[in-house]
Structure 1
Amino acid sequence: MYNSPVLFFESATLTEKLSPKTHFVKAAIICDEAYKEEAQQLQAQLFDTPSATFLFKDTANVRDFIVEQKMGTCFYIAANWDDAAAIFSTAVEEGLSEEELQVKIIGEKRKYIYCMKCFTASEIDTQATHVQCGCGAHLEVGPFYSKVRKGYIGYPFVPKTEGVK
Structure 2
Amino acid sequence: MYNSPVLFFESVTLTEKLSPKTHFVKAAIICDEAYKEEAQQLQAQLYDTPSDTLIFENPADVRKFIVEQKMGTCFYIVANWDDAVTIFSTAVEEGVSEEELQVKTIGEKRKYVYCMKCFTPSEIDTQAKQVQCGCGAHLNVGPFYSKVRKGYIGYPFVPEAEGVM
Scaled by the length of structure 2, the TM-score of the pair is 0.96
Distance, in Å, in 1 between the alignment partners of 2:151 and 2:3 is: 15
Structure 1, residues 113-136: CA drift from partner, whole Å, max 9, x if none?
Answer: 000000000100000000000000
2:16 is aligned with what amino acid? E
List gaps (5 residues or longer) in structure 2.
none
- Could you tell me whether the CA contact under 8 Å between 1:26 and 1:72 is conserved in 2? yes
Distance, in Å, in 1 between the alignment partners of 2:126 and 2:109 is: 8
Aligned partner of 2:6 in structure 1 is 6
Q: Would you say 1:129 and 2:164 are equivalent positions? A: no
- Could you tell me whether the CA contact under 8 Å between 2:59 and 2:90 is conserved in 1? no
Aligned partner of 2:161 in structure 1 is 161
Aligned partner of 2:150 in structure 1 is 150
Matched pairs, number: 162
Structure 1, residues 24-56: CA drift from partner, whole Å, max 9, x if none?
Answer: 000000000110011001000000000000012
2:36 is aligned with what amino acid? K
Distance, in Å, in 2 between the alignment partners of 1:61 and 1:51 is: 17
Q: Percent identity?
A: 86
Secondary structure of 2:123's match?
Answer: strand
Scaled by the length of structure 1, the TM-score of the pair is 0.96
Aligned partner of 2:77 in structure 1 is 77
1:117 is aligned with what amino acid? K
Structure 1, residues 73-113: CA drift from partner, whole Å, max 9, x if none?
Answer: 00000000110000000000000100000000010000000
Aligned partner of 1:95 in structure 2 is 95
Distance, in Å, in 1 between the alignment partners of 2:82 and 2:65 is: 19
Q: How many Å apart are 1:57 and its aligned residue?
A: 2.5
- Could you tell me whether the CA contact under 8 Å between 1:78 and 1:105 is conserved in 2? yes
Structure 1, residues 119-154: CA drift from partner, whole Å, max 9, x if none?
Answer: 000100000000000000000000000000000000
Correspondence 1:52-63 to 2 at 5 A:
52-63=52-63
- Could you tell me whether the CA contact under 8 Å between 1:59 and 1:83 is conserved in 2? no
Aligned partner of 1:109 in structure 2 is 109
Q: How many Å apart are 1:2 and its aligned residue?
A: 2.1
- Runs of at least 4 residues off by over 6 Å: none
Structure 1, residues 54-76: CA drift from partner, whole Å, max 9, x if none?
Answer: 01223332100000100000000
Distance, in Å, in 2 between the alignment partners of 1:76 and 1:32 is: 12
> Alpha carbon RMSD of aligned pairs, Å?
0.8
Distance, in Å, in 1 between the alignment partners of 2:17 and 2:59 is: 22
